[in-house]
């Protein structure tokens, strides 16, 4: 029977029980934060939630920012004869929340996929010390997914064989397919100094390039009339052959064969790091799978503009000594992009967005070219990771550094925050500094500086008439989202503080390394120190106020479960707004 060995290893009773207990605890924790459930308070930190015919008892430790930590080991259910199951909990919640049966059906599928992946990760007995020694691209395969979204490994569209072959935690090298696309179908953009044909030939490899040219010539086609680009094998087989059948039939698109380089998928599933030559570009390819709220395609407008966004962001960086010298910031540029229109779908106004994001590619600078000898690059997400024995990677890096927890955390905030603050305050521009996009450079375990990536989806600008933004082209203003002041602040507040730092603060306190208040005081101290350094930006500090007492609460589970459901719309869903969240930075003291 196919996959019998893998199933017998990874889908075992004790793993399934543990995965369900952890996921149900996460659901309780995050649904409390998003005000979807309101358990009764008991003695100490005990909470009681009646859901359908069941009652859940658990410990929920209050945290700053209106958050809670729900301890999986404390969770039990009445009647006790009923096992704890995430899907059963979801069905019980349907009686309490305005979730349609259509939404619940799709959610069950996403939770089942997530649980299966969690079982694979729980079966991996790799110790934290070994994980911290891993290379950047390999380390990504150890991560367990989005810390806030509960259905964080849904990957709707993958069957089990696809999962084993292409999921990042499987760490399977992939050879990308290559195709030739007639030039009038392909929108190619690149930085000014790059010659596209020679660039693509370098990425493909000269021998393969000649082989591909000969294939076209065998069809009596002129290679000069085509653009070569890679496609993900899953996308080719499951989407592109059918969606572009007309173009393939008329040889406007021609399959060429496998490339020669091996690539390793990263946490986003659609981004690949070259393992054959690590100094070659990282490749981002569209995949029409639904994962963490959206289809993982490449939006056409943003793909076409990626090199221009890179040039804009890097011009700021190159001219600002504080960013490139004082902070040591580096930006992984998206230097070449290709988007291929599908004539049939493009002609339909208001068509679901997934059908306009099916074919294209983005080439991003290699992380390895941005590192000095002795430096190690790790994603911010890795700072939240524990091995299967409960040891955190952060605790290992702290030991390596020889710093106290207070010193190490201060170094982390000093590496991460000033460049993000400077782009926000000085230039009215933000990244999305979540766990995958934000890369911390360590040296001997100590946080040293920041590297940012993924501009095509996540650069936003202020809607205020700031002089620093007057040079942006009309095309850029049309494509990039313009946000009001609080909207811009939310990229740091929710994107970094809520989506990542609140979990890191929790981990450090649980490990008895640093108290939660001390963690956030360290954050506030870096913000205040930055503001003292640039007093001329006082009006901007008030405009983009990170220390205001409360902000709009953005929700990442509520929007799928209640607000958006699984309707196919013409735009990607955005975080739901629901109520307010108290900003602990308004209250914690500044460190001396």
Residue 553: per-residue pLDDT:
98
Give mean pLDDT, residues 556-565.
94
The predicted model gives 12-39 an average pLDDT of 98
Residue 256 lies in a domain: yes
Rounded Cα distance, 303 and 282, in Å: 15
**Which of 364, 396, 421 is the endpoint of a domain?**
364
Tell me: do 358 and 425 sit in the same domain.
no
The HSE-up count of residue 235 (CA atoms within 13 Å, CB side) is 31
Q: What is the pLDDT of residue 81?
A: 87
Are both 105 and 136 inside the same structural domain?
A: yes
Long-range contacts of 9-17 (CB under 8 A, 24+ apart): 9/123, 10/116, 10/119, 10/120, 10/123, 11/116, 11/119, 12/119, 12/123, 15/119, 15/122, 15/123, 16/115, 16/119, 17/83, 17/84
For residue 540, give its domain range: 372-546
Does residue 316 share a domain with residue 189? yes
pLDDT at 400: 98
Which pLDDT belongs to residue 294?
Answer: 93
- Assigned domain for 166 exists: no
CATH code for position 9: 3.30.310.280
Whether residues 396 and 353 fall in one domain:
no
pLDDT tens readout for residues 240-251: 999 999 999 999
CB neighbours of residue 492 within 10 Å:
22
441 shares a domain with 349: no
Both 213 and 359 in one domain: the answer is yes
Q: Are residue 526 and residue 428 in the same domain, yes or no?
A: yes
| 204 and 128 co-located in one domain | no
Question: How many distinct helices (H) and strands (E) make up the chain?
Answer: 24, 25
Interval 299-308 mean pLDDT: 93
Indicate the residue among 142, 164, 191 that finishes a domain: 142
Q: Model confidence at 1, in pLDDT bands (50, 70, 90)?
A: confident
Q: What mean pLDDT is reported for the chain?
A: 96
Residues 497, 351, single domain; the answer is no
pLDDT of residue 244: 98
Which pLDDT value is given to residue 274?
98
Phi (first) and psi of residue 244, to 5 degrees: -115, 30
pLDDT in tens, 188-233: 999 999 999 999 999 999 999 999 999 999 999 999 999 999 999 9
For 466-492, the pLDDT digits (tens) are 999 998 888 888 888 889 999 999 999
* 96 in a structural domain: yes
Q: 27 preceded by cis ω (within 30°)?
A: no
pLDDT tens, residue by residue, 134-185: 999 999 999 999 999 999 999 999 999 999 999 999 999 999 999 999 999 9
Specify whether the CB–CB gap between 97 and 557 falls below 8 A: no
Of 507, 522, 546, which marks where a domain is finished? 546
Same domain as 483, residue 336: no
Same structural domain for residues 439 and 478? yes
| Domains identified in the chain, total number | 3
Percent of the chain with pLDDT over 70: 100
For residues 359 and 384, state if they share a domain.
no
The answer to whether residue 585 sits within a structural domain is: no
Q: Which pLDDT tens digit goes with each residue over 435-457?
A: 889 999 999 999 999 999 987 77
pTM of the model: 0.96
pLDDT per residue over 342-389, tens digit each? 999 988 999 999 999 999 999 999 999 999 999 999 999 999 999 999
Whether residue 160 is contained in a domain is answered as: no
Answer whether residue 154 is part of any domain. Answer: no
Give me the phi and psi of 564, to 5 degrees please. -100, -35
Q: Does residue 151 form part of some domain?
A: no
pLDDT of residue 278: 96
Confidence (pLDDT) at 80: 86
Q: What is the pLDDT of residue 471?
A: 86
Among the listed residues 49, 36, 93, the one whose alpha carbon sits nearest the alpha carbon of residue 578: 36
Name the residue among 56, 9, 10 with its Cα closest to residue 32: 56
Structure confidence at residue 477 (pLDDT): 83
152 within a domain of the structure (yes/no): no
């Amino acid at each position: 029977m196919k996959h019998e060995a893998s199933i017998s290893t990874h889908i075992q009773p004790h793993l399934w029980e543990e995965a369900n207990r952890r996921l149900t605890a996460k659901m309780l924790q995050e649904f409390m934060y998003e005000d979807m459930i309101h358990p009764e308070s008991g003695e100490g930190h005990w909470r009681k939630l009646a859901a359908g015919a069941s009652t859940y008892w658990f410990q929920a430790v209050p945290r700053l920012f209106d958050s809670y930590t729900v301890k999986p080991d404390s969770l039990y259910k009445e009647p006790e004869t009923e096992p704890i199951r995430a899907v059963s909990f979801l069905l019980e919640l349907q009686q309490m929340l305005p979730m349609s049966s259509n939404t619940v059906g799709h959610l069950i599928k996403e939770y089942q996929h997530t649980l299966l992946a969690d079982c694979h990760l729980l079966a991996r007995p790799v110790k934290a010390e070994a994980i911290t020694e891993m290379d950047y691209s390999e380390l990504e395969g150890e991560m367990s997914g989005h810390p806030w979204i509960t259905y964080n490994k849904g990957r709707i569209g993958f069957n089990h064989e696809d999962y084993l072959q292409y999921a990042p935690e499987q760490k399977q090298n992939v050879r990308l397919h290559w195709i030739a696309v007639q030039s009038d179908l392909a929108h190619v953009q690149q930085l000014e100094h790059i010659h596209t044909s020679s660039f693509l030939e370098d990425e493909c490899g000269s021998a393969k390039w000649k082989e591909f040219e000969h294939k076209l010539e065998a069809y009596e086609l002129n290679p000069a009339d085509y653009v070569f680009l890679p496609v993900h094998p899953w996308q080719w087989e499951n989407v592109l052959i059918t969606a572009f059948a007309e173009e393939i039939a008329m040889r406007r698109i021609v399959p060429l064969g496998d490339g020669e380089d091996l690539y390793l998928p990263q946490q986003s599933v659609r981004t690949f790091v070259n393992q054959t030559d690590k100094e070659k570009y990282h490749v981002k390819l569209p995949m029409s799978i639904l994962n963490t709220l959206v289809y993982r395609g490449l939006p056409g407008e943003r793909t076409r503009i990626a090199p221009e966004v890179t040039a804009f962001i890097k011009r700021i960086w190159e001219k600002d000594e504080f960013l490139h010298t004082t902070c040591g910031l580096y930006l992984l540029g998206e230097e070449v992009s290709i988007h291929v229109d599908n004539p049939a779908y493009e002609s339909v106004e208001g068509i679901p967005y997934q059908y306009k994001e099916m074919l294209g590619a983005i080439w991003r600078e290699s992380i390895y070219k941005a590192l000095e000898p002795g430096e190690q690059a790790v994603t911010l997400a890795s700072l939240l990771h524990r091995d299967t024995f409960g040891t955190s990677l952060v605790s290992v890096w702290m030991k390596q550094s020889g710093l106290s927890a207070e010193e190490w955390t201060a170094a982390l905030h000093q590496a991460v925050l000033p460049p993000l603050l400077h782009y926000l305050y000085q230039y009215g521009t933000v990244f999305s500094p979540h766990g995958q996009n934000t890369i911390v450079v360590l040296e001997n375990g100590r946080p040293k500086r920041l590297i940012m990536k993924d501009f095509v989806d996540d650069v936003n600008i202020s809607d205020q008439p700031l002089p620093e933004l007057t040079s942006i082209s009309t095309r850029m203003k049309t494509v990039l989202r313009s946000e009001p002041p609080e909207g811009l602040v939310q990229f740091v507040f929710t994107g970094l503080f809520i989506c990542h730092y609140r979990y890191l603060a929790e981990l450090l306190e649980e490990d008895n390394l640093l108290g939660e208040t001390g963690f956030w005081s360290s954050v506030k101290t870096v913000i205040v120190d930055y503001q003292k350094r640039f007093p001329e930006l006082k009006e901007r500090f008030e405009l983009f106020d990170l220390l205001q007492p409360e902000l709009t609460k953005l929700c990442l589970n509520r929007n799928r479960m209640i607000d958006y459901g699984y309707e196919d719309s013409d735009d990607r869903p955005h975080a739901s707004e629901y109520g307010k969240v108290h900003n602990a930075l308004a209250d914690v003291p500044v460190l001396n």
